[in-house]
Structure 1
Amino acid sequence: MTRPDYDQFTCNLCGQESPVAQDFERETGLCSHCGSNVRFRALILALSEHLYSQPIPLSHFTPDRQFKAMGLSDASLYADKLASLFDYTNFFFHTEPFLDIRNIDHLASDTYDLLITSDVFEHVPPPRHVAFVNSWHLLKPDGLLLLTVPYSTLPKTIEHFPGLHEFEFIQDGNSILLINRRIDQTVEVYDKLTWHGGVGSTLEMRIFSETDLLYILSDTGFKDIKIWNEDVPLYGIHQAHLNCSYVITAIKDASATPPTADQYDPYIDYVYSQETAVLHSLPHTPVRVTGAPAKRIIAQWQNYSHKPAPSILGRAYRYIKSKFQNDNSNSA
């Protein structure tokens, strides 16, 4: 727990003065008025520098309905304001407007001036480069990718489930387990899963490394890549001591040719193998269940009527169907 050596700051989301809280880490240091944390304020700082070449609060941004922007599960603390300023759509994985960043066939390429993805790409199933490639396609030439993910200073990225293909979750006693049928049809079981937002909420797929992130961004067609790692006391951005997980901005290079967004991982050399000792020294690494316990769980799973993790089209169909049924019952 750290605390900066100043007593108040101006929140660059709401524009109000806030006292400094005792706990001032990436997800804390909350504004006493709107509840923004250090990560959100660092995001808006980077965006204001890109748009106006100076740090100004979101509350002072200039409306521009010609500026087309999109977010991936952006927090309402800043998403609502962005929607009032720009032609902005906040997409979600589990509710409308739906978007799975792995499948963008229903969206037009070269459309957006800005794509914000804050702590999302660590949850996207492998291969991890697909999210970056598709972000490149969605952006206009010289469009801005505004990115955050939790990442480490380790030399390589840690993929928790490198063979993920068709997967689902089952309850086993007090544990939620992941069962995965690999592309070669072998079945594997994982315990000790890491969730963001509470158990059963959003599964952590990986821990990026900074080296891997920067290389993938460059190789998938982005330029002018910048890590925003400085403290900005005026806006209560106290982060330099973290040494990782900063805001990253990158510009789409329209002259680049990104790799194909398919199941082949061209960056596998930047991922630790599952046998690497470093994985066993980390406190929040999923555990592969083996032997008799795995056989029992797989047999139990195979006795159930089961399906792979639902696609975005399947989720959308069920949502529309339930909404249609509810509308009909309300009108009856």
Structure 2
Amino acid sequence: MRTENSATAAPPIAVTAPAPRRATAPGTILAALGVLAFSLTFPATAWGLEGFGPWSLVAVRSVLAALVAGGGLLVLRVPVPARRHWAGLAVVGAGVVLGFPMLTTLALQSATTAHSAVVVGLLPLTTAVFSSLRTGARPSRAFWIAACAGAAAVIAFTVQQSGGALTRADLYLFGALLICAAGYTEGGRLASAMPGWQVIAWALVLCLPLAVAGAALALAQEPVRLTGHAVAGLLWVAVGSQFLGLVVWYKGMSLIGIPKASQLQLAQPLVTLVWSVLLLGESLTVAAPLTAVAVLVCIAVTQRARG
């Protein structure tokens, strides 16, 4: 289940059956659209911060996304999940709906989008580790070597970029990795009992009362300046990244299966780097794309090792 992406960010893992061959092309297109939506989460958050405070942006984002998700659940007359699933949905909400967007938004106040994209590119590896611990699976030695290599590459990048020490933004980003990986892992477990989009939809609805209260408090304390960038960024992270992106991602993944979909997801940090240049005018150091490629290779190795 993200994002932002994600706020953001890499998408949740779901259990799906292999897709028939004739559905490959539509499924690939839908999954690619999901990755594209998630890759825009950080640039959209940076735009949103031009007019909103960090707490206001996250709270209002969650409220809007929950209203869209709740409307979809009502229109489709989706039954309420069984009581045994609500604890898992709370974990998803804490990690994906509230924790990850909040921590990455705080990080983006001082860190560049490119820097954040490289660090959060480690999310698939972190999720794989959490998933192994949660399910009791025992990945191969190659898996753990690749996972550690990816983590080492990102840590070296952050230390080099920060002048020899981790900054507060880096700590926010690493915290976001941990809490979102826990949410994604629990979402993957729940996705075996209900469609993946319903997992994020119910998690959003569950967090709605807290989001409304948070929005009221934050908007009263933080100034708001409704610029075009700020409104566009808010709408994208709320509707595009946190809901619609997940809908097309899960549909595409159900058609082509997890292995093929995960290969598309590997490109997400690199696409975010492109957006950071095109939309935000950021300049990239050589270390950013090189580290992103190194993490991509490590994730590809873990995918093969897990298989």
Same fold flag (TM > 0.5)? no
Greater relative contact order, per chain length (Cα 8 Å cut-off, separation 6+): 2
TM-score for the superposition, normalised by structure 2: 0.30
Greater C-alpha Rg: 1
